[in-house]
Amino acid sequence: MGFTMTEKIFAAHAQSGQARSGDIEVLTPDVILLNDTSGSITVGQLNQMGVSNLFDSEKVILIADHFSPPKDVTSADSINLLRSFGNKFGIKNFYESGRHGIEHALLPELGKVGPGGLIFGADSHTCTAGALNACGVGFGSTDLAGVIATGELWVKVPPSIRIELTGQPGRFVTGKDIILFLIAKIGVDGALNAALEFGGPGLANLNIDERMAIANMSVEAGADTCVFEYDEQVARYIENTGWTARKPVMPDEDAIYLAKYTIDLNQLEPMIAAPPSPANGQPIAQLTEVKVNQVYIGNCSNGTITDLRQAAQVLKGQSISPDVRLIIVPATSAIYRQAAREGLLEILSAAGAGISLPTCGACFGGHMGILGAGETAISTTNRNFRGRMGHSDSKVYLANAWVAAAAAITGKITDPSTIAEHAGRKERV
């Protein structure tokens, strides 16, 4: 009986050297991730434990992204607490405004995520690491305190669900649409307590940015983690980041899966998840004419250079509706700089967009794009629960960057093909 990719990654990090679905193993991760919301709880727990030394400060990454730049005294204090903790224990990997990014986009850039790796983070979207043939698992802040102190944690090995991708996505169809389609198909609990494993010939038609969008929202289907097959695109990516900590993994032909699904990318069209659930995915034709007050392009799932290029292609030479505010949030400082070099920021700003430093602010209802009572947003973020981005009476529709940009022009959900005939699909890199 063969092994899944998840089982292989867990086994490589287990004290026993083995891992089977259903087993409880003691794992030591390659990276432990804390941010400025989870960090204060974790630091408090470590203080209560009387911890004076960390098992390995090099493995701990501290990223101020949720309240960065700080919006008030409380958020500034939270970031300062994270910095002080890092200074106390000699943690060199501390990142905040100006040389940082949203944690799940920044880790790959820093070479902290790569094939065969295991990342523990006090944030549910740590599963984004799966795009690079790794496993990222989100835990509570108290669990992470234990790992930081001891270097190990008891974990139940999840069963895997195989997602076979075939075909090639059409114009204006992206990784966002693939994951929205999948969640609509299996539901928010369709992968509960399991791992999603992606592969198949269609994978070659998705760049790393699009894979990150899929991996990021795997948790919205209830998954504990996810992992994509290793291929040439992943190999090229890590050549630039320097990841060498682990070896790539691939599934065995006789691996055992909890379930298997096939998605024919040729058959997909742009999808939109209507509030109040990411599982309410519908083809765009069913939701056109919905008026919006805010368009938000950013977040740890879709603030990549690919997303900014797509938005700029739609908005080039256009002006946004006077009834709409458009907020653009590059996911990292490096993406911001690349977008500036390519002239994308000029195009977006000329169209009427407000462009922010990297931050999680609006996505989780913190700052930098909050919705008021009765307002509606179309957003490239990953959650659209009631009150997620602001007032409990606001609404959020989830979509890809092509669709979001089109809505900024018309003031309503619009098929981008009707206004962006010049916006041909860019070559995937």
- pLDDT, tens only, 196-220: 999 999 999 999 999 999 999 999 9
Q: Is the pLDDT of residue 423 over 50?
A: no
Q: What does the chain come to in residues?
A: 429
Q: What is the pLDDT of residues 290-328, one digit of tens each?
A: 999 999 999 999 999 999 999 999 999 999 999 999 999
Q: What pLDDT score was predicted for residue 422?
A: 44
Alpha carbon distances (Å) from 55 to 37, 44, 139, 425: 22, 17, 18, 47
Q: Give dist(CA 32, CA 228) in Å, integer.
A: 21
Three-state DSSP state, 91: coil
Domains of the chain: 5-265 (3.30.499.10), 272-418 (3.30.499.10)
Q: Give dist(CA 419, CA 66) in Å, integer.
A: 34
Three-state DSSP state, 197: strand
Q: Give dist(CA 422, CA 383) in Å, integer.
A: 30
Q: Return the percentage of the chain with pLDDT > 70, whole number.
A: 98
Burial 284-305 (b: 16+ CB within 10 A, else e): beebeebebbbbbbbbbbbbbb
Q: Is the pLDDT of residue 427 over 70?
A: no
Tell me whether strands 271-273 and 281-283 are parallel, antiparallel or unpaired: antiparallel
Tell me whether strands 60-63 and 354-355 are parallel, antiparallel or unpaired: unpaired
Q: What is the amino acid identity at position 336?
A: Y
Q: What pLDDT score was predicted for residue 420?
A: 56
Q: What pLDDT score was predicted for residue 293?
A: 98
CA 171, 174, 177, 181 dihedral sign is positive
Region 171-176 average pLDDT: 97
Q: Give dist(CA 398, CA 414) in Å, integer.
A: 13
Q: Give dist(CA 407, CA 397) in Å, integer.
A: 11
From first CA to last CA, the distance across the chain in angstroms is 36
Question: Maximum Cα–Cα distance for the chain, whole Å?
Answer: 62
Q: Give dist(CA 262, CA 322) in Å, integer.
A: 42
Q: Is the pLDDT of residue 95 over 90?
A: yes
Q: Using pLDDT thresholds of 50, 70 and 90, give the confidence band for residue 98.
A: confident
DSSP letter at 308 equals: H
Q: What is the pLDDT of residues 225-260, one digit of tens each?
A: 999 999 999 999 999 999 999 999 999 999 999 999
Three-state DSSP state, 134: coil
Q: Give dist(CA 197, CA 136) in Å, integer.
A: 12
Region 75-96 average pLDDT: 95
Q: Give dist(CA 298, CA 190) in Å, integer.
A: 26
Q: Is the pLDDT of residue 273 over 90?
A: yes
Region 176-184 average pLDDT: 98
Three-state DSSP state, 1: coil
Q: What is the amino acid identity at position 309?
A: R
Q: Is the pLDDT of residue 425 over 70?
A: no
Q: What pLDDT score was predicted for residue 99?
A: 82
Mean of all residue pLDDT scores within the chain: 95
Return the H-helix or E-strand segment holding 138: strand 135-138
Cβ-proximal residues to 401 (8 Å cutoff; 6+ apart), any chain: 174, 176, 297, 302, 306, 307, 308, 310, 311, 380
Q: What is the pLDDT of residues 136-170, one digit of tens each?
A: 999 999 999 999 999 999 999 999 999 999 999 99
DSSP letter at 381 equals: S
Q: Which residue has the tokens 């055992």?
A: 256
